[in-house]
Each structure stands twice: as structure tokens, then as C-alpha cells.
Homo-oligomer: A and B are copies of this chain.
Amino acid sequence: MRATVMYGAGDVRVENVPDAAIKEATDAVVRVVLSCVCGSDLWPYGSMPHSGHGRRMGHEFLGIVEELGSEVQGLKRGDLVVAPFVWSDNTCDFCREGLQTSCRHGGGWGHALDGGQGEAVRVPQAQGTLVKLPVAEDSALLPSLLTLSDVLCTGHHAAVTAGVNARTTVTVIGDGAVGLSAVIAAKRLGAERILLMGRHKDRTDLGREFGATEVIAERGEEGIERLHELTGGDGTHAVLECVGTQDAINTAIAVVRDGGAIGRVGAAQYSQAPPDFGTVMRNVTLSGGVAPARAYIEELMPDILEGRIEPGRMFDHTVSLDDIPSGYRAMAGREALKVLVRP
């Protein structure tokens, strides 16, 4: 079958690889119907050292169940399913607590395993991992439902871990797909005031449609000053950090209100929290982490099915599987917000 392999920074290829096949009784094989490129794929695309054997790519996909291991229950061939970006048994203590990213028998796609940016995927722990989608394979809702695999749940995780509710003011740092998902999530959780920090007008315009009440286009110190102006110097109760750079976490600390919380979900590219975190004993909570998407899918899906949220609008570029390299280029060059892949 065909699948995407990254060999190093800027070097992503679509190649013939062994067909996805059942190896364990708990596996399924899913034929990919829709996949996409993640903002986090751009980190290795920007900096991965060259590798002779390459790394399989893609951790967001939905598709049709084609084969099932003998122990998998509750699924049948032909089911349309979405996969969260980490697989999990969904029965261990961590999974029962809603932290499937720490599942005792879980793991992530790609690397040595099949990735979502290919024709098919072997899915370990299929029963715990895959969630049926109650729509047809040609539904117009598929792009929105695909966001349940990662980006929408990641934005939601930021909002949940930062304690967003109807009484909180919210800052969202970043106007990428995670940031815009965080806007959707904050709005959905009832926040009446959502300040979106981002400098790409087309993206922040979409952010306004998703629920942002104010946009701060200024960056760095200017952006922090502007946010303080807009909040009477206090900052906001919740800050959703959706970028992952040192600048972004510094900004988050600077704009969070005393007693507030930061939900950080931007894939962290920094190694040190801001010095303020240590030397000043401010009552600020740093929370977040890699999102347990599996925990949120059932909660968020009805809002998509019933049209209350439309996260699929973030896909502004579509490529075929063989054109994936151009999709990476478009996202890395900021020409595309998020790239949909139709194998």
C-alpha cells in the first residue's frame, strides 16, 4: 500500500510499504477515508535529522473497518470509525480516569507503526481506541468529525484543564488549528469573553466566527500590554496556550490573572518554564498536556452531528495522498491553515 514517510527536515515522501495487517488479536485494520496534516507534523518537517529508514506519518484519521482481530468486540467490518491520536485499551485505571494518553497498553501512531497519512492502518487495541461514526462515508460532516481525532479535542483539553466555564474570561494564544479549536471549545463551555492572540487576519477572522470576542494582533510585549489594557491590568482567568514556544508560555504567564490557570497544549518546543514561575510565588496553575482525545470524543461528537460547531471549516486545503508533500509545503509556508488528505 501507499503511505507517507518522513526522512528528515523537508523530506517527506509517499512510498510503497507493506500492507496494513492484523498482528494481534486486539488489532483492527482500517482503510483510511480521510486524514490530515497536523501542526505538530511541522516540527519534524522543520528540524528532523535525516534518517535512512524514515518515519511513518499521520496520527489523525477516520476510515472503514476492513479486518478485525479475534478479540475485538463492538465493531464490525464496514463500520466508519474515527481514531484518536493515541490508542488505548480504554479499560485500565488511567483510561477510566479519562487519561487515555497514559494508558497502560497504549501508544501513538506513526514511527515504526502505520500512520494515518496512508491507505490503511493497523490499529492496536482497536476495541478501546476506535469510535463509530453514525454517518455515511460520503457525509459532508466528515472533515469536522476528523477533528475529533486530535485538534478539536486538544483545544478542548486546553479549555478543560484551564477550568473554562461561563464565569471565566479566556485568552487563546495562537491562531493555528489548535488555537481555533480552543476558541470553539471555550465558546462551547460558555465563556462570554474570548481574547484571541494571533496575527494572521484570515485565521483570526475565522476565530471571530468561532466565538472570539476580541483579537490581539500585536506580538510579544506589545501583545501582552494590549491584553492588559483590555482587562484592566488583570489578565484573564484562563489562558489556553496553543503554540508551544518559549514566547508563547512566557506570554501565558504574563497574561494570566492571579488565581487563574494556563492550559498548555501547544507541542512544547521549550525546555524551561519562565523564570517567573519559580521566583514569584504567584497563585497560577499550569495545567494541560497531551490531550486524551479518546476521553472527549463522545462528548463533542453530538455538537458536530447537530451542527452546533463546525471545526471542519479549518481545512482550507485538500490534497490526494500522492500530493502530501505539497500539503506539507503549504502548511509550513502558512499558505494553508490545515490540510485535508483524501487518499
Which A residues are within 8 Å of any B CB, using their own CB?
A: 94, 97, 99, 101-102, 161, 249, 258-259, 261, 264-265, 267-268, 270-273, 275, 277-290, 292
In the complex formed, the residue of B with least CB distance to A104 is B234
In the complex formed, the residue of B with least CB distance to A276 is B271
Instruction: Tell me, in angstroms, the Cα distance from A275 to B246 when the chains sit together.
Output: 12
From B278, B284, B287, B290, give the contact of A268 (CB < 8 A): B278
From B97, B249, B271, B280, give the contact of A259 (CB < 8 A): B97
Instruction: Tell me, in angstroms, the Cα distance from A161 to B261 when the chains sit together.
Output: 11
Instruction: Tell me, in angstroms, the Cα distance from A341 to B281 when the chains sit together.
Output: 27
Query: A6: shortest Cβ distance to chain B, in Å?
Result: 20
Task: Specify which chain B residues have a CB less than 8 angstroms from the CB of A270 in the assembled complex.
Answer: 278-279
Instruction: Please provide the 8 A-B residue pairs with the shortest distance between their CB atoms, ordered closest to farther.
Output: A283-B289, A273-B273, A102-B258, A285-B287, A281-B290, A286-B286, A99-B259, A271-B278
Instruction: Tell me, in angstroms, the Cα distance from A95 to B287 when the chains sit together.
Output: 23
Task: Specify which chain B residues have a CB less than 8 angstroms from the CB of A286 in the assembled complex.
Answer: 277, 285-287
Task: Specify which chain B residues have a CB less than 8 angstroms from the CB of A267 in the assembled complex.
Answer: 281
Instruction: Tell me, in angstroms, the Cα distance from A265 to B268 when the chains sit together.
Output: 25
Interface centre among A249, A264, A281 (most CB of B within 10 A): A281
Task: Specify which chain B residues have a CB less than 8 angstroms from the CB of A102 in the assembled complex.
Answer: 258-259, 283
Task: Specify which chain B residues have a CB less than 8 angstroms from the CB of A259 in the assembled complex.
Answer: 94, 97, 99, 102
* Given contact pairs A161-B283, A161-B285, a sample of 5 additional A-B residue pairs in the complex whose CB atoms are under 8 Å apart: A99-B259, A99-B283, A264-B281, A283-B288, A283-B290
Instruction: Tell me, in angstroms, the Cα distance from A266 to B256 when the chains sit together.
Output: 21
Given that A102-B259, A258-B102 are contacting pairs, would A283 and B292 also be in contact in the complex, using a CB cutoff of 8 Å? Answer: yes
In the complex formed, the residue of B with least CB distance to A258 is B102
Instruction: Tell me, in angstroms, the Cα distance from A275 to B278 when the chains sit together.
Output: 13
From B94, B161, B278, B284, give the contact of A272 (CB < 8 A): B278
Query: A155: shortest Cβ distance to chain B, in Å?
Result: 15
